[in-house]
Amino acid sequence: MQDIDEEEQSLFEAPPLAEQERMVEAVLFATSEPVTLRELESRMPHGSDAGEAIALLRRRYEGRGVQLMKVGDAYALRTAPDLGFLMRKETVEQRKLSRAAIETLAIVAYHQPVTRAEIEEIRGVSVSRGTVDQLLELEWIRFGRRKMTPGRPVTFVVTQEFLDHFGLESARDLPGLKELRSAGLLENRPPPGHLPGPDGADDPEEEASTGQSELFED
Amino acid sequence: MQDIDEEEQSLFEAPPLAEQERMVEAVLFATSEPVTLRELESRMPHGSDAGEAIALLRRRYEGRGVQLMKVGDAYALRTAPDLGFLMRKETVEQRKLSRAAIETLAIVAYHQPVTRAEIEEIRGVSVSRGTVDQLLELEWIRFGRRKMTPGRPVTFVVTQEFLDHFGLESARDLPGLKELRSAGLLENRPPPGHLPGPDGADDPEEEASTGQSELFED
Amino acid sequence: MADTIFEQDRTAVAERLAAEALIVDVDGFEGPLDLLLTLGRTQKVDLRKISVLQLARQYLAFVEKAKALRLELAADYLVMAAWLAFLKSRLLLPPDPADEGPSGEELAAHLAFQLERLQAMRDAAARLMARDRLGRDFFARGQTQDMQRTRRVTYTATLLDLMQGYARIRTRDEFRPFVMDRDAVYTMEQALERMRGLIGFAGGWSDLTSYLPDGWGADPVRRRSATASTFAASLELVKEGHLDIRQAEAFAPIELRRKD
């Protein structure tokens, strides 16, 4: 059945690439959210190659007042950053983040996937619920998969909204990531012997239970 | 004063037209409302000619997936009208017809042409407007000719669409009561406890209402 | 000469002020590591070349001062102080060959690493926040054309549904049960009228059932209806103040008496 379907469908030719480019342009223009290739193709006529159309469109918008940006595995049109001064009226009041929240965000971004215990180990203080909640609420971080360590603690990773907000194609494009990695500063070195601090990692049981209860509360 | 100001400002040259075009593009992209030339110029550096930038931009978007449109005395970017289909997503949801609608439909089919009063008499309950409207909307019933009785009430009959949907050549093809019974469709008798008798008839009022609603369930 | 003394004094004052500022600000620190980082910065060297021994001294001195000022320090600051005192002794004393734990240098190196890593994350956070940001420096489409989601609802029914529906109605017709057996109903109005005539004679307690009308006691259906309405009528008369009513216990006979 599948084969017949596919044969049948391939009888309808996909529209010319220039037309596909127009379609991608229209769809990206219509929304403020990044759109994935899959979503694009699901809207376009069968046989369309959204990826190629995107590549064309991206070139077309190079140097324009509006630019095609890659955000994770999605695409979005955004105004060129050098023209921000024209948009003072449109500026959204940005919520001030606490220093703890900013640091926690950076640690999640650079160390992801990272557990709460690891964040605490790096910052040297316990992470308050409110801090994590605020970042989750902004949809800048989300829960990742559990770590395969004793207690299987949950991890945090950054989201597509985070990438979109900071104009990043992927978390690999974080500023200074390479330097930090080669300097060994993204490692999670175990302390020799025992260091004091709020790292609850002494007791994996406890870590597991707090991690879980936090995930399942609220 | 005014004159001096203007003189001073004209010392700063307006940005090149290509740059002005970028600016107009970014503003039209990011604003939620169409923007007038005046508004554009108030945002752009002094000496800019928004009108000319608009003309350039308009030409640039000719034939693209997005177009620069004039809306009253303001300007806006809009997706090309021929691509509107990309912005629509249709989901079809199938629902089962309600019991009241099926019974009403059945009565129209078996008794046509039939008035609303007759339907109510046969069903033993009043027929809601919504039920009739729904069947009319589905084009399964339509108004027939008026009855030659006092008040000349309208009648309902089933439609060709009805026959098509149920795979019938004509309403006369509907099976009769005897056939229904021999097909086992009439075995739906009320349980003996509900038969009238010295035990059951404590409160005839109640019997009437529960008896009906019970018949309608299952 | 006088100048240098004055100079020394001045630095001493500045140091004291700085130390006091630190202490007063202790709430502003996010834990011992943050405090260590701030203290480390006063060494004015690359964090990688920091003297952990000196840092430990600075920290311990800080804690001492806080104690002298009777400031309450959180437990984790004191734990860190104890650990740094231990580290200090490790760094100062020649290593004990019998000791299997990590050397003072290893511990110091790890603390230096922690400080450097925390500083690196702070720098990274600052760089991140300084990036061009959506809604501040670059902007999304202002005039979104949300996807029109049209939901078309279609209704279906099968021929079987239709026939069963019709069968249901016709079946009901055949067994139309609405035969009103008015004969078996004794209304409350009837009972009330009867009772009003009888209560005048009820001087002493008498059973409710003795008030049932003639001919309603034998047939169970009629008896039930008459009992119910007589009881309801009695309650009505109690409410009006004409009757007393009583029942010794559940299911015991209900008795009535005229009220004077």
B51 within some domain: yes
| Each residue's pLDDT tens digit, A5-16 | 444 445 567 889
What pLDDT score was predicted for residue C178? 43
Residues paired with residue B70 on neighbouring β-strands, in sequence order = B75
Mention every residue, 6+ apart, whose C-beta is less than 8 A from residue B144: B112, B113, B154, B155, B156, B157
B40 within some domain: yes
Tell if the CB–CB gap between C144 and A30 is shorter than 8 Å. Answer: yes
If contacts are CB pairs under 8 Å, which of residues 163-192 in chain C contact chain B? 163-173, 175, 177-181, 184
Last residue of a domain, one of A52, A86, A120: A86
Residue A27: pLDDT band by 50, 70, 90 thresholds? very high
Question: For chain A, what is the mean pLDDT?
Answer: 82
The pLDDT of residue B8 is above 70: no
Q: How far apart are CA B164 and CA B14, in angstroms?
A: 71
What pLDDT score was predicted for residue A176? 92
Q: For chain C, give the percent of residues with pLDDT over 70.
A: 82
A176: left (phi over 0), alpha (psi -120 to 50) or beta: left
From the list A23, A64, A77, the residue facing B83 with the nearest CB is A23
Is residue A111 within 8 Å of A186, Cβ to Cβ? yes
A217 within some domain: no
The pLDDT of residue C72 is above 80: no
Q: Mapping DSSP to helix (H, G, I), strand (E, B) and coil, where does residue A36 land?
A: strand
| Each residue's pLDDT tens digit, B70-127 | 888 889 998 888 888 888 766 667 788 888 898 899 889 888 889 988 888 888 888 8
Q: Which residue of A has its CA nearest to B84?
A: A26
One domain, residues B125 and B204: yes
Q: How far apart are CA A5 and CA A11, in angstroms?
A: 10
A194 within some domain: yes
Mention every residue, 6+ apart, whose C-beta is less than 8 A from residue B60: B21
Asked if A22 is an interface residue toward chain B (Cβ–Cβ < 8 A), one would say yes
Q: How far apart are CA B168 and CA C159, in angstroms?
A: 9
Asked if C162 is an interface residue toward chain B (Cβ–Cβ < 8 A), one would say yes
Gyration radius of chain C over CA positions: 49
Q: Which residue of C has its CA nearest to A34?
A: C140
What value does the mean pLDDT take over residues A204-211? 38
C40: left (phi over 0), alpha (psi -120 to 50) or beta: alpha
* B136 HSE (CA, 13 A, CB side): 11
If contacts are CB pairs under 8 Å, which of residues 131-150 in chain B contact chain C? 134, 138
What pLDDT score was predicted for residue A66? 95
From the list C151, C162, C164, the residue facing B93 with the nearest CB is C151
Sheet holding A155-158, edge to edge: A114-115, A155-158, A141-143
| Each residue's pLDDT tens digit, A134-155 | 898 888 999 888 888 888 888 8
Q: How far is the CA of C66 from the CAs of C8, C31, C61, C82, C88, in angstroms?
A: 24, 15, 9, 15, 20
How many Cβ atoms are within 10 Å of A28's Cβ, its own excluded? 27
Q: Mapping DSSP to helix (H, G, I), strand (E, B) and coil, where does residue B36 land?
A: strand
Quote the tokens at residue C72: 């309450």
Last residue of a domain, one of A38, A69, A86: A86
Tell if the CB–CB gap between B194 and C147 is shorter than 8 Å. Answer: no
The CA distance from B63 to the nearest CA of chain A, in Å, is 8
What pLDDT score was predicted for residue B12? 65
Asked if B17 is an interface residue toward chain C (Cβ–Cβ < 8 A), one would say no
Is residue C145 within 8 Å of B87, Cβ to Cβ? yes
Chain C residues inside the 8 Å CB shell of A195: 83, 107, 110-111, 114
One domain, residues B47 and B122: no
Tell if the CB–CB gap between C181 and B198 is shorter than 8 Å. Answer: yes
The pLDDT of residue B206 is above 60: no
The pLDDT of residue C65 is above 90: no
What value does the mean pLDDT take over residues B40-57? 92
Neighbours of chain C (3+ CB pairs under 8 A): A, B
**Rounded (10°) angle between helices A99-111 and A129-137:** 70
B217 within some domain: no
The pLDDT of residue B4 is above 50: no
Residue A179: pLDDT band by 50, 70, 90 thresholds? very high
Asked if A30 is an interface residue toward chain C (Cβ–Cβ < 8 A), one would say yes
Quote the tokens at residue C220: 């169970």
If contacts are CB pairs under 8 Å, which of residues 64-123 in chain C contact chain A? 76, 79-80, 82-83, 101-102, 106-107, 110-111, 113-114, 116-118, 120-123
| Each residue's pLDDT tens digit, C101-146 | 788 888 888 999 999 999 999 999 999 998 988 888 888 888 776 6
Highest mean pLDDT among A88-92, C18-22, C212-216: C212-216
The 3-state secondary structure of chain C, one letter per residue: CHHHHHHHHHHHHHHHHHHHHHHHHHHHCCHHHHHHHHHHHCCCCCHHHCCHHHHHHHHHHHHHHHHHCCCCCCHHHHHHHHHHHHHHHHHHCCCCCCCCCCCHHHHHHHHHHHHHHHHHHHHHHHHHHCCCCECCCECCCCCCCCCEEEEEEEEECCHHHHHHHHHHHHHHHHCCCCCCCHHHCCCHHHHHHHHHHHHHHCCCCEEHHHHCCCCCCCCHHHHHHHHHHHHHHHHHHHHHCCEEEEECCCCCCEEEEECC
Residues paired with residue C206 on neighbouring β-strands, in sequence order = C256
The pLDDT of residue A17 is above 60: yes
Is residue C32 within 8 Å of C77, Cβ to Cβ? yes
One domain, residues A140 and A173: yes
One domain, residues A143 and A166: yes
Gyration radius of chain B over CA positions: 35
Chain A residues inside the 8 Å CB shell of B89: 43
Which range, of A16-30, B5-19, B112-126, C58-72, averages the lowest pLDDT? B5-19
Q: Is C148 exposed, middle or buried (0-12, 13-18, 19+ CB in 10 A)?
A: exposed
pTM of the entire structure?
Answer: 0.59
Q: How far apart are CA B154 and CA B122, in angstroms?
A: 17
Element (H, E) at A155: strand A155-158
Residue A35: pLDDT band by 50, 70, 90 thresholds? very high
Quote the tokens at residue C112: 């230096």
One domain, residues A53 and A151: no
Residue C174: pLDDT band by 50, 70, 90 thresholds? low
Q: Mapping DSSP to helix (H, G, I), strand (E, B) and coil, where does residue B166 land?
A: helix
| Each residue's pLDDT tens digit, B169-182 | 777 777 776 666 66
One domain, residues B153 and B109: yes
Beta pairing class for C243-247 and B114-115: unpaired
What value does the mean pLDDT take over residues C203-230? 85
Sheet holding B114-115, edge to edge: B114-115, B155-158, B141-143
**Does A7 or C260 have the greater pLDDT score?**
C260
Q: Which residue of A has its CA nearest to B20?
A: A65
Chain B residues inside the 8 Å CB shell of C148: 87-89
A124: left (phi over 0), alpha (psi -120 to 50) or beta: left
One domain, residues A62 and A145: no
Chain A residues inside the 8 Å CB shell of C80: 196-197
The CA distance from C68 to the nearest CA of chain A, in Å, is 24
One domain, residues B54 and B158: no
Q: How far apart are CA C83 and CA A124, in angstroms?
A: 14
Closest CA to A217 of A135, A132, A139, A145: A132
What value does the mean pLDDT take over residues A181-193? 84
* B134 HSE (CA, 13 A, CB side): 20
- The amino acid that residue C245 corresponds to is I
B11 within some domain: yes
Last residue of a domain, one of A67, A86, A105: A86
Q: For chain A, give the percent of residues with pLDDT over 90.
A: 50
**Does A57 or C79 have the greater pLDDT score?**
A57
Residue C41: pLDDT band by 50, 70, 90 thresholds? confident
Tell if the CB–CB gap between C162 and B102 is shorter than 8 Å. Answer: yes
One domain, residues B28 and B124: no
Backbone angles phi, psi at C51, to 5 degrees: -90, 110
How many Cβ atoms are within 10 Å of A146's Cβ, its own excluded? 17
The pLDDT of residue A128 is above 50: yes
Q: How far apart are CA B114 and CA B119, in angstroms?
A: 7
Q: What range defines the domain where residue B137 resides?
A: 94-212
What pLDDT score was predicted for residue C5? 52
One domain, residues A66 and A110: no
One domain, residues A119 and A78: no
Which range, of A69-78, B102-111, C38-47, C127-136, averages the lowest pLDDT? C38-47
C215: left (phi over 0), alpha (psi -120 to 50) or beta: left
What pLDDT score was predicted for residue B64? 93
Closest CA to A60 of B7, C121, B65, B151: B65
Tell if the CB–CB gap between B23 and A65 is shorter than 8 Å. Answer: yes
| Each residue's pLDDT tens digit, C237-248 | 898 888 899 998
Which range, of A7-21, B29-43, B137-151, C16-30, averages the lowest pLDDT? C16-30
One domain, residues A126 and A57: no
Q: How far apart are CA B92 and CA C154, in angstroms?
A: 7
What value does the mean pLDDT take over residues A94-110? 90
What pLDDT score was predicted for residue A101? 93
Which domain CATH number covers B38?
1.10.10.10
The pLDDT of residue B210 is above 50: no
A175 within some domain: yes
Q: Give chain A's end-to-end CA distance (angstroms, integer).
A: 47
What pLDDT score was predicted for residue C116? 92
Number of structural domains (chain B) is 2
A218 within some domain: no
What pLDDT score was predicted for residue B178? 66
Backbone angles phi, psi at A141, to 5 degrees: -130, 160
Residue A95: pLDDT band by 50, 70, 90 thresholds? confident
Residue B13: pLDDT band by 50, 70, 90 thresholds? confident
